[in-house]
Amino acid sequence: MFKLSLIAIIFLALVGCDVGNVKAPQPKEVDGRNMLANVLVHVDRQNPGRGLADYPSNESADVPKSYAMILLGAQAEARSNERTNINEMGVKAGNWLMEHADANQDGVVGWGVPIAWDAYGDGSTNPANTEYTISTAIVVDALLGWLDYVDEQKKQDILRLVDLALQPYVATDMRTPAGLLPYSLLLHDRRYDTFNSAVYLAGQMQRFSELANNTSLKEQLRQAADATMGALLKNKKQALKSNTWFWNYSIQENSPNDLPHAGYVIEGVLTYAQYNGRLADQFDINGVFGHLMDFVNEDGSVRGWPVFRSRIKTPPRLYDLSIAAQLMCRFKGDGYGGIFLGEVDHYVLPNGGYLKYPRGTDGNRQVAEYESYLYRALMACGFGKVANAK
């Protein structure tokens, strides 16, 4: 089953609600079951990852990250209810991911975005379904978690698919100038040293190294993960007031990560440590995890950017809150998700569903992809638990 108990105990001992010398607000009480009902109102039960994406398009699309969040949420629900199978919506999401492992039919297994997109605004627009590292990492995370809920044949199919998805990244020439895993498999994206996607995937590569049967592949996976984590250690920064660890979005940009990208880095570091990464003991896990509290004001409100970027007033997206909430619930305890879920009522629509930003924000819209992140967070925080379930 999911290898969480030891690291969860460590965090319960290390991570209080306070961080450094900063007194953090207490978690808010939330009606998570009502939130879950609201988020499910507009979910397409047959195609649960389909809907409006937060990319340049007004068309409904099938977003792999969205399907992965539905699958991860279904796994969390099954764990809460001590079941050996996941719900039907999760099964549909998992099967869709496996059936669309090469959506652009280029012979490379990986997942991306079903919309053409210039990721860095440098004029190099990537075609629809380009294999993006963050999408592949999140899908691999979801598929590996599904192993606990499938029969032996399905398990072998998943392992083969994950193997194929990770193989392009073990090559030493598939690295950025700083030694990180690349943002995508396209050459022009490889010049950017982007931390969040590289670190999330490095965590999953370390995780898969413990499952791979091929000794040579095990070592290649670990070396690739170590290279990214080594570059992360070299470029870490420390917040003066809280003493937490944080990173810029990339080496090329002198701007700290916003909440979701900080969350992806935290996810990757914790997974790498959880699965015995060789450099894990060089990370201050308390400092890395505690950075989440740098996004919380003294009055308990949540920011889209750290408190030490006080000039940026942009509110968090639904996506941001959901990523932070699920991390708090998984690694600290169910009640702590309320620090971030307590803001979600400001995003709800009268007819159910949730907006990207708080109601009243200019240019706001409902994004299905972000609602799937909220679904995963609510399940991770135990709101899918049924009384006396077995």
> For the residues of 260-288, what is the DSSP string, one character each?
HHHHHHHHHHHHHHHTT-TTGGGS-HHHH
**Which residues in the chain land under pLDDT 50?**
1-6, 9-10, 12-15, 21
Whether 389 is covered by a domain: the verdict is no
At 65, list the tokens.
Answer: 């990250």
Each as own residue / partner, the long-range contacts of residues 55-63 (CB below 8 Å, 24 or more positions apart, any chain) are 55/113, 55/115, 55/117, 56/115, 56/117, 57/115, 60/368, 61/114, 61/115, 62/96, 62/100, 62/114, 63/113, 63/114, 63/368, 63/369
CB 34 within 8 A of CB 377: no
From CA 98, how far away is CA 274, in angstroms rounded? 26
Please list the alpha-helical segments (H only) found in 102-243: 133-146, 152-170, 195-209, 215-234
Cα(44)–Cα(266) distance, rounded to whole angstroms? 30
Q: pTM of the prediction?
A: 0.95
pLDDT at 3: 46
**Residue 385 counted as domain residue:** no
Give residue 7's pLDDT.
Answer: 52
319 and 326 in contact (C-beta within 8 Å)? no
- Tokens coding 233: 């250690």
Q: How many structural domains does the chain have?
A: 1
Nearest-10 Cα torsion for 343, 349, 355, 358? -40
- Copy the structure tokens of residue 92: 């549909």
Query: What does the pLDDT read at residue 341?
Result: 98
CA angle 48, 86, 164 (to 5 degrees): 75
- Within-domain flag for 230: yes
Mention every residue, 6+ apart, whose C-beta is less than 8 A from residue 58: 52
Q: Which of 5, 8, 1, 2 is nearest to 285 (CA)?
A: 8
- The pLDDT tens digits of the residues spanning 200-242 come to 999 999 999 999 988 999 999 999 999 999 999 999 999 999 9
Separation of alpha carbons 381 and 291, rounded Å: 20
Classify residue 269 as exposed, middle or buried by CB count within 10 Å of its CB (0-12, 13-18, 19+).
buried
Inside any domain, residue 124: yes
pLDDT at 388: 64
What token pair was written down for 102? 């090469």
Token pair for 176: 């950025």
Give domain status of residue 387, yes or no.
no
Cα angle 38, 39, 41; round to 5: 70
φ/ψ of residue 254, rounded to 5: -90, 65
Looking at residue 135, what is its pLDDT? Answer: 98
Query: Domain range spanning residue 361?
Result: 5-380
d(CA 219, CA 200): 18
Of 368, 319, 356, 350, the closest CA to residue 43 belongs to 368
CATH number, domain of 87, equals: 1.50.10.10
Domain assignment present for 49: yes
The answer to whether position 184 is within a domain reads yes
Residue 271 inside a domain? The answer is yes
